[in-house]
Amino acid sequence: MSHSSDDPKRRLTVRDFLEMKSRGEPLAVLTCYDVLFARILEAEGVDLILVGDSLGQVVLGYDSTVPVTLEEMIHHGRAVVRGAPHTFVVLDLPFLTYQVSTEEAIRNAGRALKEAGVQAVKVEGGSPDICEAIQRMVQAGIPVMGHVGLTPQSVHSLGGYRVQGRGEEEASRLMEEAVALQEAGCFSLVLELVPGDLAGEVSRHLRIPTIGIGAGVECDGQVLVLPDALGMNPDFQPRFLKQFAQLDQEARRGVRQFLREVRESTFPGEEHTFGEGK
Ligand code: KIV
């Protein structure tokens, strides 16, 4: 197991993430939504788990993250925490649970920590309102991860899932938002679908670690959506994605084998069948 702490049972903290950045040690982050994969991620030493609201698309079958509710996030967050009790877990606050008012944002972030048992929350965007809500959450003792670039909860106003921060104006706005989020108290920042050079510039400029998805190798860490990274969604092949396994093929092979053996009456065999005495 590889984990950035000497003691694999010690959960990393926000201070560890800052120290990893200053040592130039990349943070390896994956999303997760259930206990089975949470156990695997913890055993293999992932630095941080994100219970992303990508849950909506990759697990619940919605066509965007917009319909995801806080109850759904908490339900899956609890399963992940049960499977990875020694790992730092961040839970995405879903659409409209932190944008309406600062008070609601704090209450909902508090629910994530109290009811799901996660260590931090993530919110999207870098507007002054979002930064104010983040500041208050941090004052209340809630660690917050920011997220700029492509922010999927705003897919309808962004006009689709496309690269953000291209051109001078967009790039300087993204840099301003990143700095504002750091000043608001975020302990780390996701950069999604951002040109590699800009992501590198933002990463060098900030004290807090950046975690890229589709943002090149110069970020301080990388995150992927787990089912995409493991090839469970074989038709989803954007440029930024690498499939590190082909689980869809392996799962199909297993299902076909089960169907064949049941239909041929070769399963269950004698070794799977209880007798009188044993
Ligand atoms: O919801 C999610 O999985 C995310 C990652 C893509 C960073 O926000």
Query: pLDDT tens digit string along 191-224?
Result: 999 999 999 999 999 999 999 999 999 999 999 9
Average pLDDT over residues 78-105: 98
Structure confidence at residue 9 as a pLDDT band (50, 70, 90): confident
pLDDT one-digit tens code per residue, 29-74: 999 999 999 999 999 999 999 999 999 999 999 999 999 999 999 9
Q: Is residue 259 part of a domain?
A: no
Distance (angstroms) between ligand 1 centre and the Cα of 189 equals 12
Output the pLDDT for position 276.
Answer: 87
**Three-state SS across 22-64?**
HHCCCEEEEECCCHHHHHHHHHHCCCEEEECCCHHHHCCCCCC
Q: How far is the CA of 155 from the centre of ligand 1 (A)?
A: 13
The residue-averaged pLDDT of 92-106 equals 97
Residue 163 is which amino acid? V
Q: Is residue 188 part of a domain?
A: yes
What number does the ligand 1 atom closest to the CA of 190 have? 7
Q: Which structural domain range is residue 190 located in?
A: 14-246
- Confirm whether 122 is domain-assigned: yes
The number of the ligand 1 atom at minimal distance from the alpha carbon of 53 is: 1
Residue 2 in this model has a pLDDT that exceeds 70: no
Atom 5 in ligand 1: residue holding the nearest Cα: 52
- Domains held by the chain: number: 1
* Domain membership flag for residue 7: no
**Ligand 1 atom 1 nearest Cα:** 52
Active site residue 192: yes
The best mutation among 192, 210, 236 to test binding of ligand 1, ranked by most ligand atoms within 8 Å of the C-beta, falls on: 192
> Model confidence over 151-204: pLDDT tens digits?
999 999 998 999 999 999 999 999 999 999 999 999 999 999 999 999 999 999
Report which protein residue has its CA nearest ligand 1's atom 4: 52
User: ∠ CA 123-191-155 to the nearest 5 degrees?
Assistant: 65
Dihedral sign (CA 244, 249, 252, 257): negative
Q: What percent of the chain has pLDDT over 90?
A: 94
Residue 31 maps to a domain:
yes
Q: What is the average pLDDT across 81-95?
A: 98
Largest pairwise CA distance in the chain = 77
Supply the DSSP symbol for 116: I
- For the domain that residue 75 is a member of, what is the CATH number? 3.20.20.60
The verdict on residue 273 lying in a domain is: no
Confidence of residue 4 (pLDDT cuts 50, 70, 90): low
Confidence class for position 278, pLDDT limits 50, 70, 90 = low
* Residue 1, pLDDT above cutoff 60: no
- Average pLDDT of the residues in 135-145: 98
Q: Residue of the nearest CA to atom 8 in ligand 1?
A: 52
Question: How long is the chain?
Answer: 278
Please answer whether residues 101 and 71 qualify as being in contact, where contact means their C-beta atoms are separated by less than 8 angstroms.
no
Q: What is the best residue among 49, 54, 164 to mutate for testing ligand 1's pocket, by most ligand atoms within 8 Å of CB?
A: 54
Cα(147) to ligand 1 centroid in Å equals 9
Among 189, 109, 114, smallest CA distance to 149 is for 189
Ligand 1 midpoint to CA 241 (Å):
13
Output the ligand 1 site: residues, CB below 6 A: 31, 50, 52-54, 92, 147, 190, 192, 213, 223, 225
- 43 is a domain residue: yes
Q: Is residue 2 part of a domain?
A: no
Q: How far apart are the CA of 132 and the centre of ligand 1, in A?
A: 22
- % pLDDT > 70, the chain: 97
User: What average pLDDT is seen over the chain?
Assistant: 96
Amino acid at 205: H
